[in-house]
Amino acid sequence: MTSFPSVKMAWKVKTISATGKSFSRLQAKQARGMTLVELVIAITVLSVLTGIAVPAIDSAQRARVAREPVNQLHSMAREVRLRAIAERRPYQILFDSEGFKASRFYNPYGGQEEFEELQTKLDQLEQRDAIIEASQARGIDLSTGEVLPDLNREQVEEGIRFLKEYPLEDGVDYKLRFWDDTQWIDMNGGEFRRWVFQPSGMCEPLKIQVESENAFFELEFHPLTADVKTERSWVE
């Protein structure tokens, strides 16, 4: 009598063990199946996100290229305005097809050749300074006894030497509109315009529009502070 329960118990244990083994295999298959499904979903989501991110990165890059000239112009305008106030002399920013140039204001009737002449004078000053330094190193005094009329000689000397340029990158176009202009002026067509900053700190109202690969930036400068009055941008 005692042997029968033992056989039944052994059979029962074996059955449970076999069932458990089968159940474990089923779970493993289900786990592997879900992992593959999740992988497919992850790849699909990643592809969608990549498709969204690439155009966004491209648009941001085009916007950065278009914004760089207006950032440079803003920085240049603030610097020449402060120089005009500090030195009590007018300064200017020149616009042409090549980009922007800033210097002290000399001739209201001058053109692009004015900056070429200024660059030549600056080169001559550098050569003169090099000769003076070399002569002083040898103990030779080349002083002429000339004194600049302004009390702040170093500041005036620095102003004479001041020349800052910002060349535009290829593919960047820009337009200007001063307060008396009825329409935008395309500066890539060989035009020449001048923006003057008075010793009082005032300047002429100015709008600039920059375009680069369907990215646009438009700024309006305040005539009293040369700071940005309004700004708008868009990317197509």
**C-alpha–C-alpha distance, residues 153 and 114, integer Å:** 24
In the three-class reduction of DSSP (H, G, I as helix; E, B as strand; rest coil), residue 128 is classed as: helix
Residue 42 has pLDDT above 60, yes or no: yes
Nearest to 100 by CA among 56, 163, 52: 163
Note the pLDDT tens digit of each residue in 128-166.
555 556 555 655 554 544 444 444 555 555 556 788 899
Nearest to 77 by CA among 209, 219, 235, 179: 219
Note the pLDDT tens digit of each residue in 65-79.
678 888 999 999 999
Residue carrying structure tokens 């941001």: 60
Beta-strand runs (E) in the chain: 91-96, 99-104, 163-167, 172-178, 185-186, 193-197, 206-212, 215-221, 228-235
Residue 231 has pLDDT above 80, yes or no: yes
What pLDDT is attached to residue 203?
92
Note the pLDDT tens digit of each residue in 53-108.
445 455 566 667 678 888 999 999 999 999 999 988 899 999 999 999 998 877 65
Q: Which residues pair with 204 in a beta bridge?
A: none
- By the 8 A CB rule, do 51 and 43 touch? no
Residue 217 has pLDDT above 50, yes or no: yes
Rounded to the nearest integer, the mean pLDDT of the chain is 72
- By the 8 A CB rule, do 91 and 81 touch? yes
